[in-house]
Every structure is written in structure tokens, then in C-alpha cells.
Structure 1
Amino acid sequence: MNTFTHAQHHHSLNQYISGLAEGINVSFEFFPPKSAEMEETLWQSIFRLSTLNPKFVSVTYGANSGARDRTHDIIKAIKQKTGLIAAPHLTCIDATKAQLADIAKDYWSNGIKHIVALRGDIPAGQPNPQIYAADLVTLLKEVADFDISVAAYPEVHPEAKSAQADLDNLKRKIDAGANRAITQFFFDIEKFLRFRDKCVANGIHAEIIPGILPVSNLSQLERFATMTNVHVPNWLTKMFTGIDDDIETRKFVGASVAMDMVKVLSREGVRDFHFYTLNRAEMSFALCHTLGVKP
């Protein structure tokens, strides 16, 4: 009986997904490459995923000037080469308000009007920044009417004093003018759904977009999860046990997990998904295909 019910559940989900395509929006995150080989992989991924007409693509941002320059250059190149809405990450780390305003003005004058506003990771040994993400949102809105995304944490930011303090901070960012929040990656769907409900209960009515990380490398995932306070469930660890040297099976397992997640989230009313691509197109492309998003 349980097996039959489980099969019925999957059949129901698949039927539901098959009629969804027109209502689904996707976006993709990339990071600046550090070598010529990585740059080639990045552009292959950007061009392939651009065929899915994403709502926007974002590019992460480092704390030093060299990494910043790479982000600026890639963002402008994406817009020029693909016509996509390209959204740079912008952080408060190691920058004055005047410098941030200048960067924002340069983006706006180059037609870059969507920014992902973040506090940013504080490098070891550096003092706390002068301003935080909510202040950055205010600053950006003073420069121009940017479309602004901010970060949200279904499992609570590692540095937050409490879950409520974290929600209060998210509300400050939305109240300052942010248009939407994109979550840290997660694997516990119930935690995301409870978080979404808590946002509404706390007067946060902006869209909360789930961040989806297609996984194919468990050790890499565990490293990311440790840094970000994300719980890696035992069932996920078990799925990757014994296949360390089998790349293709790891990709299949990771894609299967993420596909189940997007199917259930779609059933729960989620229409926008943000994929952390790690600069590789294959798994994100397959996931979008499952959602019915096709070239």
C-alpha cells in the first residue's frame, strides 16, 4: 500500500508539473572565473542557460578590488553578448558609501538596473563594515530606482542572534525597498515552507525565491553547508555514500534530489526558482527541463 501511495504521489506531481511551464520563472547564479579554462566553461554555461530565457542571471562578488572588477566586466559582457538581465552582487565589505554609490551609478549608466544587495562575508581580521544590507538597499534606491534582490535564510544566518532577529533584519531590507529575497540553498523543504509562513506573519510580503543547489559532490556540499549553517540530512549523505569515484552516478543522484525538490515546491505554489549553477549548465538545464522550461 505504501509503495502504491508513493507512486501515486509521484504521478500526481508529474501531472501537475506538466501543466506549469508558462507560470515558471528561473534565474541563475554564476561566479567570476579565475582562469582561462574556467572562463570558457562559464561562457558555455551562460550561453546554454540563456536559451531558457531566465528572468535574470546574477554574478557573485568578492571582497577585493580584483574580484570586483571581474564581476563588473562579466556583468557588462553578459548584457552585451546575450541581452539577458544581468544582476551583479554588491556587498558592503571594504567599501565606503561614496564608493558604493559610484559603483551603482556606473551600473545604472550602463543599463544594469538589477542588483543583488548583500552585506557580504567579512574576511578574517577585518572589522565589521560601516553599513549593512538594509543600508545598502536604501543607498541604491537613493541613486536610482534599482530592482533589488536580497538574501534570506530559511535555517537562520550563521551570525544572527536568533531566528526572530534574522527575520527582523530581512524585514528591514524589504522595507528599505528590496523587491524580493533569494534564499540560501537548503534541502529541508518543510523548513523553507515554515520560513515562508513566518515571513508573512512578520509582515514580509515580498516574494521569497528558493535557492536551489544541484549537488554532485558531497564533500564540497558539506564544506558549503558548514560555512552557511545549512543542515545536510542523513538521507542525502546516504545517497552519496559509496559513489565518490563515480561522477556520472553522483550527477544523476544530485539531479534526482533537486528535481524532487522543485516538483514539491512547485506544488506548494512556488513559481520562481534561483539555481546556484557553480558555473556549470548541465544539472540546472535538466532541472528546468523537468519544470517544463524549455528553449
Structure 2
Amino acid sequence: MRQLLQCGRFSFRLEQRPLVMGILNVTPDSFSDGGRYGTLEFAISRAEEMVRDGVDLIDIGGESTRPGSPSVPVEEELRRVMPAVYALQGVGRALSVDTCKPLVMREAIIAGADMINDINGFRAPGAIEAVQGSDCGLCIMHMQGTPQDMQAEPVYGDVVGEVTAFLRERIEALLAAGIERERICVDPGLGFGKTVEHNYTLLRATARIEEELGFPVLIGLSRKSMIGAVTGRPVEGRLPGSIAGALAAVAHGAKILRVHDVAETVDALKVWRAATID
């Protein structure tokens, strides 16, 4: 598996340790922290806190993708996201923008974004063209359906095989457009058109997905319903389960963890590393 991830101004050596991507939702309706960081002042404060806590990448999102969430007009997403991208240029960490809209991708890259994280796998018309001429990292995610309907009745014959095949097809589309391999990572999309069983099956198959595709795998399970389904805890009580899930993801080969709780995840990874390295 390739051990380098190139994200704009930043190059990450993935054999050293998993990367921690901190979630910064600049939205009023995120399932976990909606509204908390909706103003630029609070978003900057939260980003600075994540930097102190040891974050590697900060993932800025201006559109909630929780199940059933409505789509946000592109103008509104730009209004939410772009001030944060500009304001955080000097924070010293890679900036990712979580979007599926080509215009937002283009504007974010112009503003200095280091990664584009697309839940739609760069399928929108113009998405590949939007990122083609840049040097930013690209995260391809799998999603069955849309946020509006993805959890209605997700069905797979072979969830691991189908998700892997989708990711392979999208990788090939990006490579055919001349995008360098070092810029690409993949995300099986836990919680995006999957049942709880599908999610845990994919989590256990992380190493297989990475081996078959040859690209680093990002896992995002922080505070999700798959944690609540096992623990019986509401969103605000899912920290211990999220940490356990993060460590399980690392044990199964994940190279990037997308999380809400940066300090706790970084500490858990430090202890994990100390306990497992000979």
C-alpha cells in the first residue's frame, strides 16, 4: 500500500502513525455539533483548539450530511465555508473542505484548501475538472443514495465487494483525468446508505479494502448511530464508543481517522502506539 499522501502544502508519511482529521462543522444543523461553530470567531477558536490537541487535518463542512438533511444552495455553502478557509490559512495544519459541489471545490482550492473530501465520490458533473489542475488531496467516499434517502432501506448483495468496486471505479476515473495517485485516499462511507451490520462489516474489512485498492483508507465513525446502536448511548454519550471504534479501525488498517474529539483520539493513539510497538 502506498505510504505517502500529498495534500497541497502538506505531505504525510502514513507508515509512521494514523492521521487525525478533526471535524469542523460550520453549519446550523449538524447531527452532533450543529450551530456550535457557526460563527467565524467560534470556528477559528475550535480550529486552534484542535491544533493544540494534535490534529493533522481540519475538515471544514458547510452542509450537513446527516440522514434526511436537505441540500444547501451553493451560495449558502460558500457563505459558510469560505471565510473559515481563508481565516485558517495560517493555522499550520492541512485544511480539508467537505463538499460535493464543484463550484465550492474550485473556490476552496483558490483559497488554499489542501484537500477536498467528497461524499459523492467526485461524480457530480464538473467535479473532476474542478480538482484536476490542483495539487490538493482527494478523498473519495462511497454513498448509496443521497443524504435525503440513504438510510431509507440500504440493500447490498456483498457490501464489501460493492463498495470496493465503486471506489475502484472512481479511482480509475480520477487517474484517467491525470490526477496523481499520491493525492488520493478512500472512505467506505460508514453510515452513508448502510445498516449497522453493513457498517461493522466494512469496518472489519478495512485492511481488505486497502489491500485490494492500494490506497489509504479513511474511516469516519465518530459519534455515529453505529456507535449508539451498540452502546445504547445518545450522541453526547458516544465518546468512549467512538474511541473504541477508532482504535478498532487502526487495528484493521485505517490510515486516517475523521473525528469530533481530537484530544481524546490523539491520546488514545499515543497509548495504543506505546503498547503495540516492539
TM-score (norm 2): 0.63
Aligned residue runs from structure 1 range 135-146, under 5 A: 138-146=128-136
Which of 172, 192, 196 lines up with 2:203 in the alignment?
A: 192
Secondary structure at 1:291's aligned position in 2?
helix
Counterpart Cα distance in 1 of 2:219 and 2:36 = 31
Give the distance between the partners of 1:271 and 1:198, measured in 2 at CA: 12
Q: Secondary structure at the match of 1:176?
A: helix
> Hey, what's the Cα distance between the residues in 2 that align with 1:37 and 1:175?
36
Match of 2:240 in 1: 256
Structure 2 Cα separation of the partners of residues 189 and 165 of structure 1: 15
Give the corresponding residue for 1:47: 48
SS of alignment partner, residue 189 of structure 2: strand
Question: 1:198-250: per-residue Cα shift (whole Å, max 9, x none)?
Answer: 5644xx22111111313xxxxxx5xxx4xxxx5853x412xx3xxx7xxxxx8
1:172 counterpart residue number: 169
Q: C-alpha displacement at 1:289, in angstroms?
A: 1.4
Using the TM superposition, give the Cα deviation of residue 54 of structure 1 relative to its aligned residue in structure 2, in angstroms: 2.6
CA contact (8 A) 1:26 1:274 kept: yes
Kindly indicate whether the alpha-carbon contact (under 8 Å) linking 2:21 and 2:58 is maintained by their aligned counterparts in 1. Answer: yes
- Asked whether the 8 Å contact 2:60–2:81 carries over to 1, the reply is yes
5+ long unaligned stretches in structure 1: 1-20, 93-99, 121-130, 215-220, 245-249, 278-282
SS in 1 for 2:55: coil
Q: Is 2:272 aligned against 1:289?
A: no
2:85 to 64, 68, 75: 75
What TM-score do you get using the length of structure 1 for normalisation? Answer: 0.60
Counterpart residue type for residue 89 of structure 1: D
The SS at the match of 2:242 is: helix
Change (3 A) 1:77 1:182: farther
In the comparison of the two structures, how many residue pairs are matched?
Answer: 218
RMSD over equivalenced CA pairs, Å: 3.6
Confirm or deny that 1:112 pairs with 2:113. Answer: yes
Shift of residue 139 of structure 1?
1.4
Query: Unaligned stretches of 5+ in structure 2?
Result: 1-14, 29-34, 64-71, 175-182, 272-278
| 1: CA distance, partners of 2:60 / 2:188 | 15
Q: Percentage identity across aligned positions? A: 8
For residue 97 of structure 1, what is the aligned residue in structure 2?
A: none
Instruction: Tell me how far apart the structure 1 counterparts of residues 108 and 43 of structure 2 sit (CA, whole Å).
Output: 21
Query: In structure 2, how many angstroms separate the alpha carbons of the residues matched to 1:137 and 1:152?
Result: 15
Q: In the TM superposition, what whole-angstrom CA distance separates every residue of 1:62-98 from its partner, at most 9, and x where no partner exists?
A: 3211122211221221224x13221112324xxxxxx
Residue 44 of structure 1 deviates from its aligned partner by: 3.0
Cα separation, 2, equivalents of 1:37 and 1:266: 28
Closer, same or farther: CA 55–119 of 1 in aligned 2, 3 Å: same
Q: Residue deviations 1:153-207, cap 9 Å, x none?
A: 6xx6638774355433222222233601234346765531225425644xx2211
Aligned equivalents of 1:42 and 1:172: distance in 2?
35
Query: Is the radius of gyration larger for structure 1 or structure 2?
Result: 1
Partners in 1 of 2:162 and 2:168 — Cα distance? 10
